[in-house]
Structure 1
């Protein structure tokens, strides 16, 4: 039996390295730099992002217990208008950051992470219209080797 995606990535330190690498790539992107460096950026954004990804992908519930819930995550990304290109750029930065962070080059793991982030970007984009309403009780997503766990 295969362990969690969280374990395959390498645990907390690996997710922190991935979040750092992803953040650096986003800051280097001319379109993503603004939302990733603006005054609304939480001072511990990278650590919180690492905790979020780790939890969603099978790690401990540090994000939902110590930071925020899924409703807050969706709210943070809501109401921005048409941002499809930012979503594509975000995904591209994530995929490149996998190598930057030294995530194992296991094809099944990489395919799982790509599928997760493709889904996650699409999920956030649902709430990008200016008049979007974020559900008050959005469940924290859980992603396994087989995709979204319902």
Structure 2
């Protein structure tokens, strides 16, 4: 059996390090910092790591204990188009992958950055209103081959 991206990254401790490194880079970036200018949860890095763990093939602790996927999408909705901020957030993520030593495995680093870019684009689709976000969304799962359908198989990637 092939290990999940979650297993390959080193589980929750590694994702917590990555989330912390990414958050620190975002706060230091003059454009991305705006996303956190109105405050953030004091346990943001841990909660983000739990979310990434679920998305990357780990346990479903985020949606079982913190929030639903619909809640996550709503939290990021209604903020208008922010393409430059999104691009810089992806750059911060790629740098954080390097900061925590995950670039030692180029395939792992590439799949993590591909996931983050896709997830960032996905969270930006509800520019106008959080009320446009439907209930009942599932956390999209990501594998070595990209987005995974609900049945566990790799889904076709949008071009």
Q: TM-score, with normalisation over the residues of structure 2?
A: 0.88
- How far apart, CA to CA, are the structure 1 residues paired with 2:130 and 2:35? 19
Q: Which moved more, 1:105-114 or 1:70-79?
A: 105-114
The one-character-per-residue Cα deviations of 1:17-67 (angstroms, maximum 9, x if unpaired) are 00000000000000111222423x112111100100011001111101111
**Which residue of structure 1 lines up, in the alignment, with residue 6 of structure 2?**
6
Structure 2 unpaired stretches of 5+: 150-159
Cα distance change of structure 1 residues 132 and 83 upon mapping to structure 2, 3 Å threshold: farther
Moved over 6 A (4+): none
Offset, 1:118: 1.4
Match of 2:154 in 1: none
Q: Which has the higher contact order (CA 8 A, sep 6+)?
A: 1
Distance between the aligned counterparts of 2:38 and 2:130, measured in 1?
A: 22
Count how many residue pairs are aligned between Structure 1 and Structure 2. 149
Residue 22 of structure 1 corresponds to: 22
Secondary structure of the residue that 1:127 maps to in structure 2? coil
Give the conservation status (yes or no) of the 8 Å contact 1:56–1:141.
Answer: yes
> Shift of the alpha carbon at 1:130?
4.4
- RMSD between superposed Cα atoms in Å: 1.4
- Structure 1 residues 109 and 131, CA, compared in 2 at 3 Å: closer, same or farther? closer
Q: Any gaps of 5 or more consecutive residues in structure 1? A: none
